[in-house]
Amino acid sequence: MIYHCVSRAVNREFVFGDVEREQQRMYMRMYENFSGNRILSYCFMSNHFHILLEVTPMVAGGLSDAELLRRLGAIHNEAQVDEVARELAEARKKIRAGVADESLAAAIHARFSYRMHDLSEFMKSFMQRYTQWHNRTHRRTGRLWEDRFRSVIVEDGVACKTMAAYIDLNPVRAGMVENPEDYRWSSYGEAVGGGAKGNGKKARAGLVRAMRAHKGVGADADLWAHDVSREYRRILLAGAVEKEERRVSRGGGTEVKRTRKGMSAEQAQREYERLDKRLEEIPYGRMLRCRVRYFTDGAVIGSRKFVNEAFANARERFSQARTDGARALRGSGFAATGMLWSARDLRVGVDQGDR
């Protein structure tokens, strides 16, 4: 299952600078390695973050002792991992001697594995770990996040690749950069620029999965250099073009007001020509230039069939008067009509505009 997760700082204060965003990314990767879940796309902003997370199933039969210890090493120091290793070794010794059964080792595994392959445990651990660092570093106490976190279920295919691009375009919509590849603390910025360690392999693997999960393709970073990077670049370009409004002035002339920053149409067109595509080929490009509330509050995003299936599986959460789950997108999401549907019919504050 794929989820778009969002959380904001208390009072939406701009408290995350370069150092803080780098620390958030580090903790996110640590808990990705520990949990076995997969980051498909992400963006850390000045007062909030977006994470597109795939919650993967536990392997059949559970983890081996070696794999458990490897994962523990992602979030614990060497001494702590060594202590668990000694405990496991002692349990295995007793099992071989016939004085204990497999439940002894299973209990040790269970102390840690319940936090793996789970959405809530991943987000709670990541957010708490970062809060501890932030409060200690800035000598503050109390809550850092204004809410637990919000999540939307996302179908693979069109919904997933659109959501990934929407997340990577956050700094463009905010006017922080013109080109999404210039923002370091996002999946695309890391995939292109390499991140702090200069490789970007994790980010490329996640984006490959976001773009190809519906075809059964795994998170294979080696596939990024082929058609995946080009296709994703085209989607991003469609949402990275600046927006202008033309108005007739009182004197009869035409005033041009730039209402959203980004690439000029000419610059984007040159990029498209380099990719052998025309600018207008992405029909929902305008939607990606806007803040779409459905992507954070829609509960479920995907095809009509996908949303209706999710509705049927959670029927008890809705009123008896409701007969189906899929709702057409309004406002800023209108461009995706016929492609994407939501489980919630948002009527107030749907069109958030460009920001």
- Under 8 Å between Cβ of 304 and 157: no
* Per-residue 3-state assignment (H helix, E strand, C coil) for the chain: CEEEEEEEEHHHCCCCCHHHHHHHHHHHHHHHHHHCCEEEEEEECCCEEEEEEECCCCCCCCCCHHHHHHHHCCCCCHHHHHHHHHHHHHHHHHHHHCCCCCHHHHHHHHHHHCCCCCHHHHHHHHHHHHHHHHHHHHCCCCCCECCCCEEEEECCCHHHHHHHHHHHCHHHHCCCCCCHHHCCCEHHHHHHHCCCCCCCHHHHHHHHHHHHHHHCCCCCHHHHHHHHHHHHHHHHHHHCECEEEEEECCCCCEEEEEEECCECHHHHHHHHHHCCCCHHHCCCHHHHCCCECHHHHCCEEECHHHHHHHHHHCHHHCCCCCCCCCEECCHHHHHHCCCCEECCCCCCCCECCCC
Mean pLDDT (whole number) for 345-354 = 55
**What pLDDT is recorded for position 226?**
76
% the chain with pLDDT above 70: 83
Reply yes or no on whether the pLDDT at 205 is more than 90.
yes
pLDDT digits (tens, 9 = 90+) for 266-276: 666 666 666 56
Q: Give dist(CA 236, CA 244) in Å, integer.
A: 18
Cα distances (angstroms) measured from residue 316 to each of 28, 155, 345: 33, 21, 17
- How much is the mean pLDDT over the chain? 86
Q: Give dist(CA 67, CA 116) in Å, integer.
A: 12
Which domains are present in the chain? 2-57+120-288 (3.30.70.1290), 65-113 (no CATH), 294-342 (no CATH)
Reply yes or no on whether the pLDDT at 234 is more than 90.
no
What the block records as the tokens of 62 is 């559970």
What the block records as the tokens of 9 is 């700082």
**What pLDDT is recorded for position 274?**
62
Q: Give dist(CA 193, CA 182) in Å, integer.
A: 8
Reply yes or no on whether the pLDDT at 79 is more than 90.
yes
> Of 52-56, 127-131, 294-298, 348-352, which gets the smallest average pLDDT?
348-352
CA 164-168-173 angle, 5° bins: 125
Residues in the chain: 355
pLDDT digits (tens, 9 = 90+) for 94-151: 999 999 999 999 999 999 999 999 999 999 999 999 999 999 999 999 999 998 899 9
Reply yes or no on whether the pLDDT at 93 is more than 80.
yes
pLDDT band at 190 (very low <50, low <70, confident <90, very high): very high
pLDDT band at 313 (very low <50, low <70, confident <90, very high): confident
**What pLDDT is recorded for position 250?**
62
Q: Give dist(CA 180, CA 189) in Å, integer.
A: 7
pLDDT band at 255 (very low <50, low <70, confident <90, very high): low
**What pLDDT is recorded for position 352?**
47
**What pLDDT is recorded for position 273?**
62
Q: Give dist(CA 116, CA 35) in Å, integer.
A: 4
% the chain with pLDDT above 90: 60
**What pLDDT is recorded for position 279?**
45
**What pLDDT is recorded for position 322?**
82
